[in-house]
Structure 1
Amino acid sequence: MMELINNLDLLKTAFNAAPNGIAVLKSLYTTKNKIEDFSVLLFNDYFINWINNEDYKEKRFSKVFSKIGGNTILEKCIETAETGITSHFEQCYDDERGNHWLKFTAVMQDELVVVTMEDITEKKHAENELNNALIEAEKQKRLYNSIINGTPDLVYVFDLDYKFTYANKALLTMWGKSAEEAIGRGLIENGYEDWHAEMHEKEIDTVVAEKKAIRGTVSFPHAELGRRIYDYIFVPVFNEKGEVELVVGTTRDITESKQAEEKLQQSESRFRKMIHQTPAPTLVLKGDDLIIEQINKQMLQMIGRGEEIIGMRLIDVLPELEGQYVWEQVLKVYNEGIPFDQSEVLVPHNRTGELKNYYYNLTYRPLIEEGQITGMIQVAVEVTEQVEARQKMEKSENRFRALVNASSDLVYRMDADWMVMQSLEGGGRLSGTGGHSVNWLDKFVHPSDLEQAVHLISKSIVEKSIFEMEHRIIKEDDSVRWVFSRVVPILDEKEKIVEWFGAASDITSQKELQNVIAESEEKFRQLADLVPQIIWTAQPDGFVDYFNSRWYEYTDLNEHEFGDSSWVPALHPDDVYDVLRTWYQSVNAGSSYQMEFRLKNGISKEYHWFLSKALPIRDKEGIITNWFGTCTDIHEQKSITEKLEILVADRTKELQRSNDDLQQFAHVASHDLKEPVRKIKTFVSRLENHLENQLDESTTRYVERIHVAADRMFTMIDGVLAYSKINADSQKATIVDLNEVIKSIETDLEISLQKTGGNIYYQELPVIEGASVLLYQLFYNLINNSIKFAKENVPPLITINAKEQIEGGRRTAVITVEDNGIGFDLDQTGRIFETFTRLNSKDRYEGTGLGLSLCKKIAERHGGNITATGIADKGAVFSITLPFEQREKDI
């Protein structure tokens, strides 16, 4: 009994723990013994929680399940009870929480029906999402195929055996093959040349090995267009293990862009010049911050600013544009590369000190370099007066009239034979059609352009291609405007043209701008032809592409011959190598070019000397856009210069002889002058001895003065000799420690320092290049002067300091020598270094007046200088500037 109870408890626990609902039902019969419903005998906890009612026993099943609605569940359970066949079915119902799905299983067990219920709502939702995802994936696949096969770029896939596993429509067209003929075959089998196939196979190997993309450029033939230039990229496709299983490639035809690059480089510099010469207010913006790189005077006048705004952000110059429609268009053009052309745009901004409304015809174009948008060009023509006048007129005529024709473009449609043109909304003013049907050729093409238009129309009809043409139209007021027409054929399912859809844009302003640029180039050439010099220009690689008329007049060469082959033959044979080497060194280095050479006159066959100069013209990024050069005839100046050089050489020799004679004279004079002075001292000494004890006080004083004068004469003669030798004797530059120099001077002046009680203070003086003997003499004279010109009863105090500075790009030592002596007046500063200058009485202070002159000479010979400042009775400060390194090894 106990075991039975335990088993029942276990069964009940399992019954209630089931993750799904379980119900035990008993059949209820009609009087005709037909099952009409069920009595609920037992629900597990899942069902009880689901119906939220524990009072369920003996109640009808249809009533308990009434919240689901419908009879499907009851019918399925009755079917199982009557047939004994297990039923599996799903039922959906809605409540305040949303849509729910339930899965039921009805099983006959003896006389009872056991129903299990599972909530499959999440599963159903997942299935729906999966189905939706599959539908979206299929849609994306169709979109992908449309894009891949609609692009003019070549798209393809290689397996690791270099076989094509996919090729889009553009590639198959280029090969002239179908997919069946091309897929599964290699490069050579699809018409690639051997070198081309080998190159791509190696690149595929590289992609697989390095697991990264590679990019390149190649030229090969197109089935219809001939040889073209292509830019391509190979990208690895990885499997779930991270291994490369395929290589995807895309190739783009860049033939036209390559050709355009060359033309762009030739015209870029002229374009910059034209910006400033165009009559329309124009500016160029560069970089993400939209910096003003170029702006012509018309634009500066229009916004009321000067050239100081070049290099500033446009939004900083005109902050009131922030948030305006025009600023949004500026950002859109730069960020998306979509050109913007619009007339009569309202732009409130501060031009005269207050915010006012202005109207402009605006043209914005992105500047694209190497496929990237790097800036934009803006052309703005103010039309405020015209707009305000027209607005007043329109307001007076009809305030509520819609401006359906405000667009500057005319949009129209035509029949298949290109005969009847019907304009749509917009552009009525441009065409003058007024919305009526007209003949396109009769009403929309200038007679001068009619023949070309007919030819292009016929070609487009035959080829079912897009028609594009720039042409003139005659408006109703007989004025002529330029337009750009683009007309697209509309084809039916049989590829038959059913009609044409076209648009025409007014490009009169662009045409006028092109004319201005062409006229400006012509003016440049006319001006260049008026200049007496030869003027030429060259491309960045040094290829000469222009000469003015002076070149052809001098050389007698045919016009329009450029490059090395046109000007090198005119050079003197001895100058050819040096000229070419120097010119192409300048081209490679991007530095200015200057050289003298000889050119042959085409008529007289004589060679004249010319001075040639050239400068590289660079854009804002520093890239050379072209070269501008001149050649000036210097033949006469060259002859005069050669004569002057001979004359200078002769004069130099004479000056050298004169210096040698003066040097010899200084030595002879010093020795000859010393002899009579020596005799004076000798005979004065003998006279003293002879008249010993016989001289009175006055006579003794006179004799002492004769001795002093003679000694001063000796000193002066030695000073003159030293001063003359300072420029004559060269010294070798060596490493000189100024600390050791001052230490030696201290030793030599030891007696004078002890006698006066003087002191010299210095530390951490620099080590420099120089002549040791001369530097010793420089600082000896300065320190000796400080001792000599000390104040009475005041011990001399001499302080020497040094610091380092950069002067003229060289490391320089600045050394100051400061004392506490008698000093000098500031107005004497300019005289202190002059030869034989004495600021104090020679009777009170010894000296020749040459010491500071020697100091000045020594400092200058070292590539430095010396200055002095002082205050009377307060001391003096001498400042010596000396370079750390000497440029010459002989001083």
Structure 2
Amino acid sequence: MAEALSVQRIQWRRRADQFFNLSLDMLAILDFEGRFQELNPMWSTTLGFELEELHGMPAHALVHPHDRERTLEMAKRLRQGMPLHNFENRYLCKDGSYKWLLWSAIFDEEERLIYAVARDITERKAAEEMLQRQTEELRRSNADLAQFAYVASHDLQEPLRMVTSYLQLLERRYKDKLDEDAREFIAYTVDGATRMKRLINDLLAYSRVGTRGREFAATDCNQALQQAMANLAVAIEENQAQIIAEPLPTVWADQAQLVQLFQNLINNAIKFRKEEPPRIHVWATRQPNGWRIAVQDNGIGIDPAYHERIFVIFQRLHAKTEYPGTGIGLALCKRIVERHGGRIWVESEPGQGTTFFFELPDRPEEEEVPAGDPVAQAHLEELARHQPEPESQTNGRQDSLEARAERLI
């Protein structure tokens, strides 16, 4: 009888080892203080560390700094007897990247051990984030469509009515002759049609930012600025504008839209000039997660009360007779920058010139080289300074999975 029980225990241990080693999830046994005692091979497969490197290490040492506080709180509750289910945090990999893990764990009070199961959900989290971005883009698109419908039924009708009315008047009163009045009416007609065309073109450009944009690529801002200046060559020459550009960076962007962005901001600087010729200064400064680019002018300036309003589509601060335009240019700039994941703002005072700033982030996180993450780099260095002593690792191994399985049986 005793011999049969011994054989049965051996069989159970083998089966436990098989399940432990073959599991596609990350299985771990931790001591009361949260130090790894036993781990299955999936930990090495998922995180890149050798199992020997992880043995004896506090589990929270690998947690992303931003997730560490709530992880320690959950660990405290776990040791108080509250099971852990579906807890998510980010865990450091050896290459410096982070992976999202989904945890379930229980605390065995008799053995004073924590049994934990973790699953890599990084791809799921990426899919959720993409879905969230797409949902937000759809929300903005719907809002834009609603705004477009409103404009189409109101603002766009005004130049169209002008074209129609004067054409009808011309037809009724001057069928067979064209005198001075007729020529004046024709001029009105041409002007209305021109404004209508400009408005429609600007609206189309605005609506197509998110739907007709090209794929992002490494884009030289110097070349984009030069192209924008070439497109504005006539206006620059007519206004004797002076443009001073410091060396600009290469950014992750849609080149055509970056050209449009520079073109609109420079055109704005030329349009809202004072009596003296426009002086425009363009420069860039490095930020922790991207580049900040500035376009500064010596123009009429903007009252701080209107710094937000100028980026709203069709919002104008001046009459059309003072400064021509459709009120879409800066709204288009804002939409381009937001498509790139950045932001745009203005600093200005009346009569003191204007500086537009926009920030463009580095290449998206999911496409970055993981080791370039400064948070992860600092995390890896911290781990290197706090590796467990070899003795503690040796002692930990003495209490093997096999021995624990035997006690449980």
Tell me what 1:721 maps to.
204
Paired position in structure 2 for 1:712: 195
- Map 1:207-356 → 2, pairs under 5 A: none
Find 2:293's aligned residue among 799, 815, 818: 815
State which structure, 1 or 2, has the greater radius of gyration over its C-alpha atoms: 1
2:388 match: none
The reply on whether 1:742 has 2:186 as its aligned counterpart is no
Matched to 1:821, the amino acid is G
Equivalent residue number for residue 279 of structure 2: 797
1:591 aligned residue: 60
Q: 1:769 aligns with which of 252, 272, 281?
A: 252
Instruction: Write the letter of the residue equivalent to 1:772.
Output: Q
Q: Distance in 1 between matches of 2:72 and 2:267?
A: 58
Q: Deviations over 1:601-640 (max 9, x none)?
A: xxxxxxxxxxx966799xxxxxxxxx947534769xxxxx
Write the distance in 2 (CA, Å) between the matches of 1:749 and 1:772. 17
Q: Cα offset for 1:722? A: 1.9
Q: Is the 8 A contact 1:836 1:850 kept in 2?
A: yes
Residue of structure 2 equivalent to 1:868:
346
The match for 2:179 is 694
Contact kept in structure 1, 2:160 and 2:196, CA below 8 Å: no
| Residue equivalent to 1:779 | 262
Distance 2:74 2:62 in 1: 9
CA offset at residue 678 of structure 1? 11
Deviations 1:48-89 (A, max 9, x none): xxxxxxxxxxxxxxxxxxxxxxxxxxxxxxxxxxxxxxxxxx
Shift of 1:779: 0.6
**Closer/same/farther in 2, CA of residues 849 and 693 from structure 1, 3 Å limit:** same
Which letter maps to 1:683?
A: L
Q: Is the 8 A contact 1:865 1:882 kept in 2?
A: yes
In the other structure, the counterpart of 1:854 is 332
> Any residues of structure 2 matched to 1:450-529 within 5 Å, and which?
none
C-alpha change, 1:739 and 1:801, in structure 2 (3 Å) is: same
What amino acid is the match of 2:285?
A: K
* Alpha-carbon contact 1:681-1:707 (below 8 Å) kept: no
- 1:683 corresponds to which of 167, 172, 181: 167
Structure 2 residue 236 is matched with structure 1 residue 758: no
Code of the aligned partner of 1:843: T
Q: Is the 8 A contact 1:820 1:876 kept in 2?
A: yes
Secondary structure at the counterpart of residue 210 of structure 2: helix
Matched position secondary structure for 2:262: helix
Q: CA shift at 1:717, angstroms?
A: 2.0
Which one scores higher on RCO, CA 8 angstroms, separation ≥ 6?
2
Counterpart CA distance in 1 for 2:164 and 2:229 is 35
Deviation at 1:785, TM superposition (A): 1.0
Distance 1:737 1:541, change over 3 A: closer
Unaligned stretches of 5+ residues in structure 1:
1-535, 544-563, 565-576, 595-611, 618-626, 636-648
Identity %: 27
SS state at 2:82 partner: strand
The structural deviation recorded for 1:877 is 1.0
Change in 2 beyond 3 A, CA 1:541/1:786: closer
Aligned equivalents of 1:797, 1:836: Cα separation in 2: 27
Secondary structure in structure 2 of the residue aligned to 1:815? strand
Q: How many pairs were matched up?
A: 274
Q: Structure 1, residues 162-214: CA drift from partner, whole Å, max 9, x if none?
A: xxxxxxxxxxxxxxxxxxxxxxxxxxxxxxxxxxxxxxxxxxxxxxxxxxxxx
Tell me how far apart the structure 2 counterparts of residues 614 and 750 of structure 1 sit (CA, whole Å): 61
SS at match of 1:832: helix
Deviation, 1:799, is: 1.2
State the distance in 2 between where 1:829 and 1:680 align.
37
Instruction: State the secondary structure of the residue aligned to 1:781.
Output: helix
The correspondence for 1:829, drawn from 289, 299, 307, is 307
Query: Considering only aligned residues, what root-mean-square deviation do their CA atoms show, in Å?
Result: 4.9
The SS at the match of 1:824 is coil
Q: State whether residues 757 and 796 of structure 1, in contact with CA within 8 Å, keep that contact through their aligned partners in structure 2.
A: yes
Match for 1:829: what amino acid? Answer: H
Distance in 2 between the 1:749 and 1:884 partners? 28
User: Cα–Cα, structure 1 residues 681 and 764, in superposed 2: closer, same or farther, change >3 Å?
Assistant: farther
Deviation at 1:818, TM superposition (A): 1.0
Of the candidates 32, 36, 39, which is equivalent to residue 538 of structure 1?
32
Report SS of the residue matched to 1:728.
coil
**Structure 2, unaligned runs of 5 or more:** 1-29, 64-69, 87-130, 368-409
* TM-score (norm. length: structure 1): 0.26
Instruction: Report the equivalent of 1:3.
Output: none
**Inter-partner Cα distance in structure 1 for 2:145 and 2:304:** 35
Alignment match of 2:215 (pick from 706, 728, 732): 732
CA distance 1:840–1:777, change in 2 (3 Å)? same
1:631 match: 82
**1:197-247 deviation digits (Å, cap 9, x = unpaired):** xxxxxxxxxxxxxxxxxxxxxxxxxxxxxxxxxxxxxxxxxxxxxxxxxxx
Matches of 1:542 and 1:628, distance apart in 2: 15
* Cα distance per residue 1:845-888 (max 9 Å; x no partner): 11121111111121222222111122223321111222343446
CA distance in structure 1 between the partners assigned to 2:331 and 2:143 by the alignment: 22
Residues 726 and 857 in structure 1, CA contact (< 8 A), matched pair in contact too: yes
- Greater fraction strand: 1
